[in-house]
Amino acid sequence: MIKVLVIGYVWPEPNSSAAGVHMLSLLQFYKSQGWQVEFASPAQTTDHMVDLNEYGVSSQQIALNCSSFDEYIQQLAPDIVMFDRFMMEEQFGWRVDKYAPNAMKILDTEDLQCLRGVRHEAVKANVDFDTSKLLDSELAKREIAAILRCDLSLIVSDFELELLRNTFNISEDLLVHLPFLVDLSKLPSNLPRFEERQHFMTIGNFRHAPNWDSVLYLQKLWPAIKKRLPDAELHIYGSYPPKKATALNNPKTGFLVKGWAEDAIEVMKQSKVCLSPIRFGAGIKGKFLEAMLTQTPCVTTPIGAEGMHGDLPWHGCVAQNDQEFVEAAVALYTDETQFQNAQSNGLALLQARHDKVYLSTRLLNKITAIRNTLARHRTQNFYGQMLKHHTLRSTQYMSQWIEEKNANKMR
């Protein structure tokens, strides 16, 4: 039986973030192949983490900068190791190379954090985003190095796939496009009709900077929408709301910070329109997948819709400016024909881009092909081998120095 070890940056919280949903779908994919799956993480456990035992996945707490992991991975002897984001590859990749050298290494990028970081800096500086800035990014150098050191990287956004190919010259052999997996046979049914829905909504983990920025920007846009629709409210959901977020709650203006949603699908399907003026970020957005599943039209920005619709029409409106955003929000809220057209677009996007059966087959074929020719695959990835050579001498020694330093504190 094939053994899969997943090293998580955090414990999966599918009700808190799209990353948690995506991670759980990957764990379920591995289990569906009849493989043994273990999830390990150095992160603290949380109240909202999923019970992995319910999915047949074992779990293990591991430590950073500690040789206990060396013994652990030798005993487990995994055939495949998947890292949750590049930081976990940095921390544990060299140990995997040393103590489980024949294990296939997969990197689940979630999104390109260097892209999100450079865009965030552009927003703060009030300048246009320039792709060339990625080449100067320290974060990009770390992230691309991790991609090169792995045998395969999972990329959720086709925009980011092209960026990796064209800007960073990453070989197609090292990448696979894997957006959110949806079982099309189990789409929600008996959804509320246009006249049965009410109010606007948005949702997103408040710890994620693009989500918090989006809430602040909605505070700027909301008065213009409220003026046109006096009875409408904006319900803002998300896990881990800080005091600065709950302080924005204002019943008089209908700007309502609801916080944690026990069931994101339920609150989404009761709403009429989802609003999300995302100004920076990367990857693809779980809130929009939930909106497609519940046939709730969305108004967002080009960055918000990026990587999710290709040449197909968006399920709502991709607004180019504030005025267009407000106009689209009002139109979708009041015009049933536009509302229904947006719903149809969302269903078409699910069918074309998120079919779990098709995407899972493509991923399995890619993994199988690489595992069957792993030595040759690695030989052809010269830059990856070069980076591994130097990493084993820099990251390894730094980690061992930290471990020794921590040991001395305990003496």
Tokens of residue 223, six digits: 């008065």
User: CA-based angle 8:377:354, to the nearest 5?
Assistant: 50
pLDDT at 130: 86
Same domain, 142 and 208: no
Please compute the mean of the pLDDT values over residues 264-280 and round it to a whole number.
Answer: 96
Alpha-helical (H) ranges within 77-183 are 86-99, 113-125, 138-149, 158-166
Q: Which of 320, 353, 386 is a domain's end point?
A: 353
Alpha-carbon distance 223 to 411, whole Å? Answer: 61
pLDDT at 397: 61
Alpha-carbon distance 204 to 213, whole Å? Answer: 11
Same domain, 191 and 331: yes
- Nearest in space to 300 (alpha carbons), one of 376, 206, 203: 203
Same domain, 224 and 322: yes
Same domain, 88 and 121: yes
Same domain, 212 and 160: no
pLDDT at 47: 85
pLDDT at 411: 57
Same domain, 224 and 79: no
Alpha-carbon distance 316 to 58, whole Å? Answer: 41
Task: Give me the residue label for tokens 């189990």.
Answer: 186
Same domain, 381 and 337: no
pLDDT at 105 over 60: yes
Computed from CA positions of residues 263, 269, 270, 272, in that sequence, does the dihedral angle turn out positive or negative?
positive
Task: Please give the mean pLDDT across all residues of the chain.
Answer: 93
Q: Which of 306, 324, 353 is a domain's end point?
A: 353
Confidence at 54, pLDDT banded by 50, 70, 90: very high
Confidence at 405, pLDDT banded by 50, 70, 90: low
Same domain, 304 and 340: yes
Residue 292 to residues 19, 143, 257, 274, Cα–Cα distance (Å): 17, 31, 23, 10
pLDDT at 392 over 60: no
Same domain, 169 and 99: yes
Same domain, 157 and 86: yes
Same domain, 111 and 234: no
pLDDT at 391: 59
Confidence at 395, pLDDT banded by 50, 70, 90: low
pLDDT digit string, tens, across residues 286-328? 999 999 999 999 999 999 999 999 999 999 999 999 999 999 9
> In terms of C-beta density within 10 A (0-12 exposed, 13-18 middle, 19 or more buried), how is residue 365 classed?
exposed
Same domain, 126 and 210: no
Q: Which structural domain, as residue segments, surrounds residue 306?
A: 186-353
> Which pTM value belongs to this model?
0.91
Confidence at 189, pLDDT banded by 50, 70, 90: confident
pLDDT at 388: 83
pLDDT at 182 over 90: yes
Tokens of residue 367, six digits: 């993994």
pLDDT digit string, tens, across residues 314-325? 999 999 999 999
Total domains present in the chain: 2
Contact 109, 85 (CB under 8 A): yes
pLDDT at 86 over 90: yes
Confidence at 400, pLDDT banded by 50, 70, 90: low
- The domain that holds 170 is classified in CATH as 3.40.50.2000
Q: Which of 313, 338, 353 is a domain's end point?
A: 353
Residue 279 to residues 123, 217, 305, Cα–Cα distance (Å): 7, 9, 11
- Nearest in space to 132 (alpha carbons), one of 179, 166, 175, 91: 166
